[in-house]
Amino acid sequence: MKVVLEVDPISAPLTGIGRYTLALARELRHEPRVSELRFLHRGRLIDNPERLLAGGQAAALARRHLPLRSLARRVYRGFNGWRLRQQARALRGFIYHSPNYTLLPLEGRSVVTVHDLSFLRYPEFHPAERIAFLAREFPKALARADQVITDSAYVAEEIRARLGVPRERLSVVPLGVDPVFRPHTEAACAATLHRLGLRWRGYLLIVATIEPRKNFERLLAAFASLPAPLRRAFPLAVAGSAGWRTAQVHQTLSRLEAAGEAMALGYVDEDSLPQVYSGAAAFAFPSLYEGFGLPALEAMACGTPVVASSASALAEVLGEAAEIIEPESVASIAQGLARVLDDPQRQAALSGLGRAQAAGFTWARCARQTVDVYTRIA
């Protein structure tokens, strides 16, 4: 079976979809049922997607601040389509897999991965140009794809109920946790924590792009309502790039920082994340909507107790291994944080439950189940 995987999402700094794509690219190389594997980047074939991470941060920053982004995206996609047509003959007989909602105009069998429907359910949470682009391209991909892969049964049911895609064209393939996410000792974490100004088991962590869907405003309000000794003992460490519609969040975060009760870490590189997870007293993930919730699962794999939202796919992925809160209730978030931060026994219990839960999710399994999907349509 011959497969071509689109690898456009692989760029630094890696997003969740970029990490998924990179993990698939690595694992598919070892799948015996895949006789030939090619990688498609911006309409041309490349040999090694790992190289896309080199020097990618500057390009990513330029894309973020590019004027007339909607027009630029159309021109860019049109150019990619032209380059793709030059190489289409070499890809005849391949199964084409796009890991990111849309499909390029390639003939033959195709698979598209849809990670969530937040852009349909909560369009106000996204930049306008993203909504316009997906409104135009996403329906085409759903119509053309032989199979639609989702990260969770929750999203698969959403697609069936909301968009009418039949069950037989939907395949649930959960994401995986990289083996680097495991409990690290205090000594192993010392250099990274010192560099970031963090204290071993002395902070509450959240890893997420600062955007409305991640529910930062309520999290900050809940954290600010905790008793002062708890806030000082476990300041909130925010690891994530600035997204959009964040002015109020940054104002509140600045006030907490001035009081010594919060730290804005910015983007934390991939090599440092396992130590940052392992060193935290607890991990907060109060999202209003998630198609999977990989950061919470990675925190669990590092042995860090998780306080997570009851919304969307999180209950399916995290099971009973997290302290569950209601994301639209500031009081519920605060109570969940206090129950974990103020109770070492609860922390230890959740740590053990979380490691066991995360152990069931591997990228090797994700790749194997993805190849099962390819096999069904080959």
Concatenated DSSP letters of 218-242 = HHHHHHHTS-HHHHHHSPEEEES-B
pLDDT for residue 72: 55
Are 29 and 36 a contacting pair, CB within 8 Å?
no
Structure confidence at residue 78 (pLDDT): 59
Q: Is the peptide bond before 235 cis (omega within 30 degrees of 0)?
A: no
Contact, 183 vs 277, CB < 8 A?
A: no
Nearest Cα residue to 300 out of 353, 228, 222: 353
Pairing of strands 36-41, 2-6: parallel
Other CB atoms within 10 A of residue 78 CB? 11
Rounded to whole angstroms, how far apart are CA atoms 214 and 208? 7
C-alpha closest to that of 11 among 241, 272, 329 = 241
Alpha-carbon radius of gyration of the chain? 21
* Helix, strand, coil share (%) of the chain residues, nearest 5: 50, 15, 35
Angle between helices 344-358 and 294-301 (to 10 degrees): 110
Q: How far apart (Å, rounded) are the C-alpha atoms in residues 37 and 25?
A: 9
CA angle 177, 369, 26 (to 5 degrees): 55
The dihedrals phi and psi of 96, each to the nearest 5 degrees, come to -100, 125
What pLDDT sits at residue 91? 87
Task: Give the residue ranges of the chain where pLDDT is below 50.
Answer: 57-68
CATH superfamily, domain at 186-358: Glycogen Phosphorylase B; (3.40.50.2000)
Report the pLDDT value the prediction gives residue 100, as an integer from 0 to 100: 97
The CATH classification number of 2-176+362-377 equals: 3.40.50.2000
Residue 79 has what pLDDT? Answer: 55
Let me know if the fold of 2-176+362-377 is the same as that of 186-358.
yes
Domain boundaries, the chain: 2-176+362-377, 186-358
| 299, 317 contact by CB (below 8 A) | no
Residue 292: what pLDDT?
97
How many angstroms separate the Cα of 20 from the Cα of each of 5, 10, 48, 279?
12, 9, 16, 24
Sheet containing 306-309: give its strands across. 262-266, 236-239, 204-207, 282-285, 306-309, 323-325
Cα 175 to the center of its chain, rounded Å: 10
